[in-house]
Amino acid sequence: MSQGPEPRPDVILCPGGPMLLRGDHVVQDADGVGHATTRPVSAVCRCLRSATSPWCDGTHKLLPPEQRPA
Amino acid sequence: MTSNGDFSSGHPRPTRRAPSGERPEAFRGRPPGYLSHVLTPKPRGRLSEAVIDHLVDRAPLPADPLEVLDHDEDLQLALWTVYELAYRGFDDVDDAMEWDPDLLRVRRDLEQVFEAELRARCTQPETDDVVTALFDIAESDDGPSLAHHVQRKATKEQVLQLLRMRSVYHLKEADPTTWTLPRLTGRARAALVELQYDEFGAGRPDRVHQDLFARGLQACGIDPASRRLVDEAPVQVLRQNNALSLFGLHRRLRGASLGHLAAFEATSSVPSRRMARGIQRLGLPQEMADYYLEHVEADAIHEQLAIREICAPLVEGEPHLAGDVLLGAAVCVALEADLAEHLLEEWSA
């Protein structure tokens, strides 16, 4: 039996929602502009409809389920 | 609402509190959020009056508090006042009263009534998939929305009224859930700290969420330390606040505390953007819009953390808590719907 808990994920793909990033990163958007994370955990938009891109603003919830990210 | 105001006039209460009911001069100028409610609130019935008299003057409490209970509003204010001793206390009450055995007995009696009512109304069907169930409960929140109204139609007076009501929670935002922290282990505990660290400014005092709200209130000309904020709060606001404290203060209810957190965060991001737009539409101060804009982004993260990284591992480790997790989430949604219904009805009259 393995000892200790499994390691914590640093990147979490949330079904239907954003990608969580733990720690400090610079996310480059589609226009090549870099955006530095400012929080212990950040959420990167995956539905491409966020008004605060590249960060998630919850807009995916307003989409019908079939249009949300897998 | 016939909530308060006239009740105490027929019952002269020679207490030590300042006659005006407002803060003594010496307390003015404290940093925002330092103390949100410096004096005990106005009673709203016989029980809340007995509790406040006991706190301020050590008047004896009734042997059976439920015998002198006038109505739910009386219960909720009495319970709110007792709970407040665990947060910031009152300037007219000895801090030692937090652990007064007579008061704890009354608190237990009132909590039993409130918890039974919440369970009867909000208990959810059993499920093996807590993550989906939590998202479903949050999305089931399809009643009339205060944020929608604020975005498009509300008057400035209505928005200021709502902000004063929200202050009862937002000035201690994230505090009740912090009680739950030592009752967790492993992954759920680490993720709750991650979430709370963001709530409390991630090491930056100027980003503490409750202080952002206090600054927004001040910019709107509202004193965050005014007792009136609680005196004006309708029973629906007290019920929301008391549910958080009930879940947070009892280790037994740690599942409900975290389920409530999950639903709260999962119903916050999009409404926060609507609130910010309404505040900007009405030309209210940008500091208040900034508070809500902060929550658009923060709560889009927190909802995922709360559901996937806190509630899911909690239930994995303690499967018997699944029912309480869903209960807490359903209570969060139901009590917000109650407030929305009450206010939108009042405003449409």
Q: Per-residue confidence at B165, pLDDT binned at 50, 70, 90?
A: very high
Q: Hunting for tokens 């709203």 — which residue is that?
A: B44
| B326 in Cβ contact with B134 (< 8 Å) | yes
pLDDT digits (tens, 9 = 90+) for B248-273: 999 999 999 999 999 999 999 999 99
Dist. CA B137–CA B125, nearest whole Å = 11
Sheet holding A11-13, edge to edge: A11-13, A19-22, A41-44
pLDDT at A60: 94
Phi and psi at residue B189, in whole multiples of 5°? Answer: -65, -45
Residues 257-296 of B with CB under 8 A from A: 269-270, 273, 296
Give yes or no for a cis peptide into A64 (omega within 30° of 0).
no
Q: Tell me the C-alpha to C-alpha distance, in Å, between residue B237 and each of B15, B27, B164.
A: 27, 26, 11
pLDDT at B172: 92
Which residue, among A19, A50, A61, would best test binding to B if mutated, counting the most B CBs under 10 Å from its CB? A61
- Tell me: pLDDT of B209 over 70: yes
Of B114, B100, B230, the residue nearest B172 (C-alpha): B230
Of B134, B45, B51, the residue nearest B93 (C-alpha): B51
Domains and CATH numbers, chain B: 7-119 (no CATH), 126-348 (1.20.910.10)
SS3 B62: coil
- Tell me: pLDDT of B188 over 60: yes
Domain map of chain A by residue range?
A: 11-67
pLDDT digits (tens, 9 = 90+) for B151-161: 999 999 999 99
According to the 3-state scheme, what is the secondary structure of chain A? CCCCCCCCCCEEECCCCCEEEECCCEEECCCCCEEECCCCEEEECCCCCCCCCCECCCHHHHCCHHHCCC
pLDDT at B32: 47
Report the residue from B186, B197, B297 with minimal CB separation from A40. B197
Query: Is the Cβ of B185 closer than 8 Å to some Cβ of chain A?
Result: no
pLDDT at B225: 85
Query: Is the Cβ of A12 closer than 8 Å to some Cβ of chain B?
Result: yes
**Arithmetic mean of pLDDT over chain B:** 90
pLDDT at B290: 95
Share of chain B above pLDDT 90, in %: 83
pLDDT at A1: 46
The string of DSSP codes covering B10-23 is GS----SS-TTSS-
| B260 in Cβ contact with B328 (< 8 Å) | yes
Cβ–Cβ below 8 Å for A5 and B186: yes
pLDDT digits (tens, 9 = 90+) for B287-331: 999 999 999 999 999 999 999 999 999 999 999 999 999 999 999
- Tell me: pLDDT of B3 over 70: no
Share of chain B above pLDDT 70, in %: 89
All residue ranges of chain A with pLDDT < 70 are: 1-5
Q: Per-residue confidence at B21, pLDDT binned at 50, 70, 90?
A: very low
Cβ–Cβ below 8 Å for A52 and B305: no
